[in-house]
Amino acid sequence: MNQFLIEKRNPILFPESAADFSKQLETLKTELKALMADNPEGKDFYLKTAVDVAVDLRSWLAEWVLVDLVKTEDITAASNNLLAFAKDFGAAEAAAEGEKEIEAIASSATKKLCDLNKEGKANTVWGHDYASGLTHSLRRGARWVTSNPCKIQLFKKDFPDYYQELIAEIKRENAGATPAVMAAQMFTKVCAISARALYPIFKATDKQYGFVCMQVDPRDIKDTDAMIKQVEFWYDAMKKELGVEEPNVVFKLPAVEAALEAARILLEKNYKLCMTLNFTVTQHLRFAEILSKGKKNGYLVLMGGQLDDQIAKELEAKGVENAKDIAKHGAEAVIRKSYRLLAEKGYKNLSIMTAAVRGPWHIQNSFAPVGGAPVLITTVTGKINQFDAEPTPFDSLMDQPIEEKYLEVLKTSDVFNKAICTPDEGLLTWENLYEYPPFVAFFTQFVAAYQEIEDDFK
């Protein structure tokens, strides 16, 4: 949530030229010296900013633009110069922590995955699944942010004072508005923090990445018109909040029947969409046909961890030994079948986005073959750190069959059978989706979290 850091690093990490890079570095040091002179109590904060930018220069943030403008040795020298600057003003401890982070980034398996993707040797990218703490992820190659009502609640928990400041700000700016409108504006305010940090990536990738996902009100899950209106409301709100004509936003709709028409209409209006609350091949195929007709890339979420959790719960109730280990192959089977069917149907501008990551195995399951559609992973800092500590091979297994010994047990699970079936097989219908355990688990959380945000304005 360090907006000061974002403001100071973006001109350095995303300069217009090598000369501009050098100029921005000197400007930063001059500004920090002046700030420390005017506000000695803030000295540690300002020096930490110098250290953070030094670390950013040695991270994946430099790969978007800087490495094409400035020699690697000059980037390293600039980083070392900022670390020396911090040390000269007495911030040796902060500089040492920065050097430690530089080493951690260099050995990060997640960063290595991004390196391979840039080299054309891998076909999987990833994003940050939280409303704060983005810098750690950007340094390891994250290229977007996802949000949902639960993430806004976690932001409230992490930053209670700032959350209250936002409530007061929203009430001033939206005097006379309903609590529902003001709750929607809380998403605008919180998501805009990430959107500002990501906007240079949005520009550097010709608007393909560098976006923040905003999820429509789950209480309107059966209301097509309400979904459309909220997307339009948020688009205009983000334009105003960010001060741009085209905000870097992707809108998350639930993969339910009412969203079929909402997705069609919104795509005609050129909005970028991501289908969430998605656990099954049936949902993927139903929405793939629609999203593939859009002019922009669309995304089909697979909330694999929640699917595996519910399969495990069902198998445990049946007395199956090692139910949790076997259940790990549930989402694995679903993503491989979906990926194959989407490729066979020739759908374009479409990627699966895996979510609810439980461990390195879910990341491994998401590695896409080079030459096919990319797969996106969205996850949190803890899971990235776990993957960095316990990396798996980067080879794609997407075309490999599930071992029969696991598949035999998985087929005893009603949750799994509904997840793996196609629309023609008819095991999962729009009506029984609302009773489907993985769907119910997340939907219930989303509704409660959104309602709490609205209650904050009553």
Taking alpha carbons only, the member of 415, 328, 383, 365 closest to residue 137 is: 383
Q: Say what the pLDDT of residue 82 is.
A: 98
Tell me which residue of 230, 233, 275, 272 sits closest to 257, measured CA to CA: 275
Residues 6+ apart with CB under 8 A from 407: 329, 333
Give yes or no for residue 205 having a pLDDT over 60. yes
pLDDT > 80? residue 2: no
Catalogue all structural domains in the chain, each as residue range(s) with its CATH number.
3-105 (no CATH), 107-455 (3.20.20.70)
Q: How many CB atoms lie within 10 A of CB 280?
A: 28
Give, in degrees to the nearest 5, the angle at Cα 261 between 353 and 231.
Answer: 65
How high is the mean pLDDT of the chain? 96
C-alpha 380/C-alpha 189 separation (Å) is 21
pLDDT at residue number 413: 98
Contact 174, 189 (CB under 8 A): no
List alpha helices for 145-205, DSSP H: 149-158, 160-173, 179-204
Reply yes or no on whether the pLDDT at 1 is more than 90.
no
Burial of 102 from C-beta contacts in 10 A (0-12 / 13-18 / 19+): buried
Q: What is the DSSP letter of 301?
A: E
Which residues are paired to 378 by β-bridges?
A: 127
pTM given for the model: 0.95
**Rounded Cα gap, residues 316 and 65, in angstroms:** 50
Percent of the chain with pLDDT over 70: 100
Res 438: pLDDT: 97
Span 311-324, average pLDDT: 97
What DSSP line would sit under 385-445, residue for residue? HHHHHS-------TTSPPPHHHHHHHTT-HHHHHHH--GGG-SS-HHHHTT-HHHHHHHHH
- Cβ atoms 248, 198 nearer than 8 A: yes
**What is the reported pLDDT for 346?**
93
Asked if residue 353 has pLDDT above 70, the reply is yes
pLDDT over 90, % of the chain? 98
What does the pLDDT look like over 287-316, one tens digit per residue? 999 999 988 899 999 999 999 999 999 999
| pLDDT tens digits, one per residue of 219-278 | 999 999 999 999 999 999 999 999 999 999 999 999 999 999 999 999 999 999 999 999
| Helix and strand element counts for the chain (H, E) | 21, 8
For 299, phi then psi, to 5°, come to -135, 140
Q: How far is CA 310 from the centre of its chain?
A: 23
Please tell me the predicted confidence (pLDDT) of residue 414.
97
The stretch 42-68 carries a mean pLDDT of: 97
**Residue 3, pLDDT above cutoff 90:** no
Per-residue model confidence (pLDDT) at position 348: 87
What tens digit of pLDDT does each residue of 93-115 get? Answer: 999 999 999 999 999 999 999 99
Burial 286-304 (b: 16+ CB within 10 A, else e): bbbebbbbbeebbbbbbbb
Rounded Cα distance between 123 and 376, Å, is 9
Helix axes 224-242, 179-204, angle to 10 degrees: 60
pLDDT for residue 407: 97
